[in-house]
Amino acid sequence: MTRHPDTLRTAAAPPRLDPAHDALFLDFDGTLVAIAPTPDAVIVPPALAPLLTALSARLGGALALVSGRALDEIAGFLPGYGGPAIGSHGAEARGLPGLAGGGVGPRDLAALHDRFRAFAAAEGLLFEPKPHGAAIHFRARPEAEARARAFVTEVLAGEPGLALQTAKMAFELRPEGATKDAALRAAVAAAPFAGRRPVYLGDDTTDEPAIAWAGSSGGIGVKVGDGDSAARHRLSGPAEVLGWLCAQAAEPAPGGGPGGGPDGREDG
């Protein structure tokens, strides 16, 4: 459920993780790294990959990245991290055999990509090819949002099996079944995540279904940055996220568990 803005401003920071009982799921752009003018311009802190590796070991391997980016892009930005990762909103997976492929089969996207590329060039927008879809970014020209939405909606009408995904200053077509909440539900059913409390951090509308699912399933949803959210917890941005992650990697869980209640779960 979306919260009132006054509640959002007072949302608490997430509690400390319990390494024996929590599973951590992390979005990439806007959560671990700051949003950049173009997708390939993000700046990855040198300490990020070693931090994720250390925290994964502390959690018994129960840490996964969950991104709308392709897996090979994630691997390129984090060459020192080899743990589980979910890409393309769940259409790709690494280290999670039950999610491999996300149930999405191969598809010839050449014509779709050509159409997106031509529109982006004509409008002065950014086209981002995806292995299972395509995206248009209008961050550099916010006034083009309505035209971009109309274009993507028109294309979608002739592309069965794809769905419209809104994001920060972007519209994307992705496979219908590839969503971050569906990927999260599948991940928590498999080792080493099974039986652990899901803790999900994300910043975008693409993350909200996963945030809401984690919170409604006995876990924790954490909103990163501004904006309405179903999350009960919030961190201001990637810098605060990294500080929180560092604390989880270095510090023991409190005696009463990681949450607000005596059994480590959140109250209420």
Q: Which of 18, 22, 27, 181 is catalytic?
A: 27
Does an H or E element contain 50, and which? helix 48-58
Alpha carbon distance 68, 192 (integer Å): 22
**Measured CA distances, 245 to 25, 47, 156 (Å):** 12, 11, 39
Cβ contacts of residue 49 below 8 Å, gap of 6+? 78, 79, 80, 81
**Residue 263 known to be catalytic:** no
Q: Answer positive or negative: Cα dihedral of 9, 15, 21, 27.
A: positive
The helix-helix angle for 208-216 and 180-187 (nearest 10°) equals 40
SS3 6: helix
Distinct helix (H) and strand (E) counts, the chain: 8, 11
Alpha carbon distance 245, 19 (integer Å): 12
Alpha carbon distance 140, 146 (integer Å): 14
State phi, psi for 23 to the nearest 5 degrees: -120, 135
Catalytic residues: 27
